[in-house]
Amino acid sequence: MIIGVCGIGGRMGRAVARVLAERGHLLGGAFEGEGSPFLAKDVSGVAEGAPPDMKITTVAGGDYGSLEGLIDFSSPAGSMALLERAVAHKTPLVIGTTGLSEADRRAIETAAGTIPVVFSPNMSVGVNLLFKLVELAARSIPAGYDIEIFEAHHRFKKDAPSGTAKRLMEIVNESSRLEGVGTPVYGREGITGERTGREIGMMAMRGGDIVGEHTVYFCGEGERIELTHRAQSRENLARGAVIAMEFTAGKGPGLYTMFDVLGFA
């Protein structure tokens, strides 16, 4: 496939370019947001596996004619700009950007009526297995267990809690048999009083070069269940995104998730 990557100068964009080359695909376009220091630079100087003499352009200035798909790890503004181009050119789109608003999500849902869109807060195969295991645990756990979510990322991450942690919260709420269990509590300080059975603690850590760590705790009397995923490299996230792109080949319009890609749905 001939694939365009938005956010090519970022850690994830560069990892996607490497994985595309490893899996035999061609990088057909490289995009960055307005004002990016990477604009007009040669892609081969930024990302491994990139073809020579290809320049990084803005989303608005990109050439989409030959592209068979687009992978986006940029910013909410970049994602929305790319979404418009994808719809205009009927190009399948994989979105891994986090921090999107409800309005952005509605725009993605609308676009999925025209093109295939794979949208997930985390493209990792392992994280999506974690999603499935948390769904099973939340559906099965009896009353009396307290649920907490912890996530940790590198010091440069701009949003908190992570999109993955938010999705874990949603899964617990969607799957739990316990009415009202999902009231979020973001950190605790001072005299908070006893923990209620109607809350889920959400804790975020930022530091160093942590790629990503997520744990869901189910804490009962005399025992604790911990479901954890630790990412040791961005390659697993990039690989999942490229697998998702491959999944869109021949698919009709629709909003897909990694559950669809991996056959969990």
Q: Which residues are catalytic?
A: 153, 157
Strands (E), the chain: 2-6, 26-32, 57-58, 69-72, 93-95, 116-119, 146-153, 183-186, 199-206, 212-220, 223-231, 254-256
User: Which two structure tokens, joined as six digits, stand for 225?
Assistant: 């269940």
d(CA 105, CA 201): 25
d(CA 217, CA 130): 12
Name the helix (H) or strand (E) containing 125.
Answer: helix 125-140
d(CA 114, CA 186): 37
